[in-house]
Structure 1
Amino acid sequence: MTRLARSTLIALVLVLAPFAQRQAHATTIYKCTDAKGTVTLQNDTPCKPGEKQEVRTIGALPTAPAPAERAVEVKAPSGPPPNAHFELVRGPVTESLPVSQIPLADRKPPPPLFECKVWDLTTYLSEADTPQERCVPLATVGLNGGGGAGEACEIRRDTCTALTGEALCTAWQRRVDEANFRMTYAAPADKDARKAEYERQRAALVDSTCR
């Protein structure tokens, strides 16, 4: 194991150690990226306003004794722990949406929005009511009983539920915030497309009965 790998492993243990003492409570790790691209990891503390925010939720963990204290100072790596999977979510709101020029009496509900769940229990918002198909990897067994006999997968479809009422308005606010993040941190080649998508979604929310 290289020195960098050992440092990364120790840092990950230190980050997750407090979680081992909790039982029946989920813990959230926030991955924050500022305007300069600096990445930090925070336990149960949302990112600062203006930062890109991604989260990873760790479910209930069994009770375990706290690790023995060691007089070793470890510098955490600048990036996320290895094999960590984060989901981009709505971060702290820093801007005020413009006031609609359409009278309230003439406004309509926002376009339909669906909350879809993937086979691994992650969720996302979609304007399409057609669930995506995903190829879920399956374990394969060789003739000698070992693994590595090839690759196989099972086709599964996401399950999507239409949102209504206050849930629909909240989801649209989250969708607009996420579009703003994607526009802010987009590569130069994607900047115009991200901006157009953000402005489209923002107009759909501003001119709706949600505002």
Structure 2
Amino acid sequence: MRRIAIALLLLCAPLALHAQETVLYKCTDAKGAVTMQNGVPCAPGMKQDVRRIGEVKTVPVPVQKPKVDEPPDAPVYGEFIQVGGPRTQRTPAPEAAGLPAPPALFQCTTWKGETYLGETATPEPKCAPLAITGIDGNSAFQMGSACEVKYDECSAIPAEQLCDAWYRRLDDADFKRRYTNGDTERERQAAYESIEAKIKASNCSTVAPTPAP
């Protein structure tokens, strides 16, 4: 019994102190007496049962890693809708307050969903081509052409937004004249100068008007 008590003490105490594996031997002799031995095998002729108690592993304290700022998500580019140059911030000159308001402008939308600024509320209608097919439904041999008349829908720009709308129109005209070919260079230059002249003659002018002699 003394050996059993010693073995139990060895089972309870050293397990908490030692990290290595503990091997216990249960020995039974011919008379049925049982003894527990720590790390010592049973004597020859005795029945032996081996019990292994694994080491008690400790969990290390997690090390807090410094926070790393993740790079921002890359921008997702969609379809490029509008072609135009950079918008220049403009404000009317104080001396232009006595000039008349600029001509009316209209925000128009075509039958294709395209938008533009125009000077008339009723632009000329456009003819959308129609496909012509034969009686058998074959369009390979067309004998003529046809179109459907389409009208643009326009709404007037409010008076308080007229100057910004004319500036925007001037920027678009400037962009078009800079990136043009020889066939339309004069036409686009003339369009730019016409818009610029209307702005300078109105209270949207960003340049002080020249006093009358």
TM (norm. structure 2) is 0.48
Rg larger in structure: 2
TM (norm. structure 1) is 0.48
